[in-house]
A and B are shown apart, each in its own frame.
Chain A
Amino acid sequence: MASVGRHRALPPVTVLLSLLGLVLPFVLWEVNAQAQQNLLVPKLGEIVQALQESAESGALWYNASVTLRSALCGLLLAVVVGVALGTAMAQSRLLEAVLSPLLGASYPVPKLALYPVAILIFGLGTLPVVILVALECMYPIAYNTFQGVRSTPRELVRAAANSEGGPLRTFGAVHVPSALPSVMTGLRIAVPIMIVVAVVVEMLGQSRGLGFLIRDAGRAIEPALALGVILLLGVVGVALDFLIKMATRRLVFWEVAPGE
């Protein structure tokens, strides 16, 4: 990402420094680990090995699939509820007046603290994970949908009304396309939240999932496995973000991607 207004090619020094920045954390980690020769500070090779062993025993895949399933279900729920809420708020001033102060006030409140309540209501299965993920992810999606639908150009809405498309057709042909980029932005904000909430809830009290695997590895004093799983979660986050970016480019083909 170049600085504003500079069209020159990047000088080789900055390219070198960027490469250094990419490699340096790993090098420092490895040097430190080699110097300490300590089980608590695993070398990079040991982290990879721990992951590999867990993958071969099947534990990694099983727990990863549990986490991914409940996280994605939660995200789906958040999209359904968030898009519905955001659209309704953008269309009705009454709903906006009722909901937007409530959503704004509850946004900074840590919804994760509802974890015990979620367990009391939804039991000990994966449902509390799904619900808490949905609750936390709903906010950015609802907010961005609201902004997106509201920013629909008025001329287009009037033109659609003029050509006597019904309200449903107007919505599909005018509101949906103009809200879509913003909704996708909301989705991109929601993905890291989804991963964090799912993993933390699993860490708190589930007996399966990657969060459980991390906590269990910590209890067994095997930081190598815990760190490996955390790295894997980072890769999953980046991959999902990439997928959404690709999907956005497909879906919102008429809009040039804003300076990312």
Chain B
Amino acid sequence: MTAALVAPAESGRLASRRSAAWEWALDRQWPLSLTALAVLLLGWELSARADRIPDYLLSPWGAVDGLHRAYADGMLMPALELSGYRLVLGFLIGTTAGVVLGLVSGTNRLLGSLLDPMVSIANPLPKIALLPVFAVWLGFTDLTRISIIALGCFFPTYLNAASGTRLVDVSFLRVSRNVEASRIRSFLHVVLPAALPRVLVGVRISLALSFVVLFASEIVVSPDGVGGMLYAGFLNGDYPRMYAGLLVLAVAGFAADLVLSVLARRLTRGQSVGVVGRG
């Protein structure tokens, strides 16, 4: 205590400024995590340059370079287009069906009691494992891949949308019944806004899942697309190509999730959901 009082004002100010900066960094989080990431990547890069690690662990710069080469020799864009088409179509079909049916079964007791048991039987089955079966039925086509992606996306959105409708405050429903709002109006103005945060949680789970299914479907059934490019790089020992594919998938997954979470924050301003439900 006395030491602090006697200490010169200069050093005291310095110390407090440093701790304020530290507090700021701890609060924001990203300065610290970005620093850690940069240190990690730099260490990786340097040990790769010093030939300390095997060459299949390409340096970060090597991965970027591989991406550039894949772009330059015209491999990347067609693969990206093909994968993007499968992903977007499968994701849209699956989540739309999941959200619509989930909301319907959550609000209509009769339909709900018919649909819920069906979904809870099918939900524990690993949908990706149906790939070889679908390939037998539909051939090694885009239809197989898109159907599996859609199927995978359906379940998390359905379950979350249906359980979202249970988050509606019953007194709000009574109010809307009291003012004699039509069923459609009370759905649009009471049920939908209340269920929306949960619905979006389901959509977000589906988005992450759709990338996993896409990747699996592009390797198990005749390799092509970004997953196929990655896998071909692996099989041929062309590691820059493999890492180019990895980089594309990672950035695409991250970016898609970012877009969705920004959108979700806009749509559900002022609302929040606690723990993410079971997918």
Chain A residues with a Cβ under 8 A of chain B: 1, 3-5, 13-15, 17-22, 24-25, 40-41, 93-94, 96-102, 105-110, 112-117, 119-121, 143-144, 147, 182, 185, 188-189, 192-193, 195-196, 199-200, 203-204, 211, 214-215, 217-219, 221, 223, 226-227, 229-231, 233-235, 237-238, 241
Contacts and interface: CB of A to CB of B under 8 A. Distances in A.
Contacts of B32: 94, 97-98
B132 A219 contact: yes
A102 B33 contact: yes
Contacts of A100: 29, 33
A97 B125 CA distance: 37
Interface string B164-176: 0010101000000
B129 A18 contact: no
A147 B30 CA distance: 19
A115 B28 CA distance: 33
B166 A3 contact: yes
Contacts of B29: 96-98, 100-101
Contacts of B129: 196, 199-200, 203, 211, 214, 226, 229-230, 233
A109 B249 contact: yes
B256 to A, nearest CB: 7
Q: Interface extent on B, as a size class?
A: 35 or more
Contacts, number: 195
B109 to A, nearest CB: 6
A175 B170 CA distance: 35
Contact of A223 (B28, B115, B136, B166): B136
User: Taking each of A116, A195, A223, which has the highest tally of chain B beta carbons within 10 Å of its own beta carbon?
Assistant: A116
A112 B29 CA distance: 27
B33 A189 contact: no
Interface stretch (B4-12, B43-51, B88-96, B116-124): B116-124
B234 interface: yes
A203 B33 contact: no
A35 to B, nearest CB: 15
Nearest to B131: A203
B24 to A, nearest CB: 11
B215 A113 contact: yes
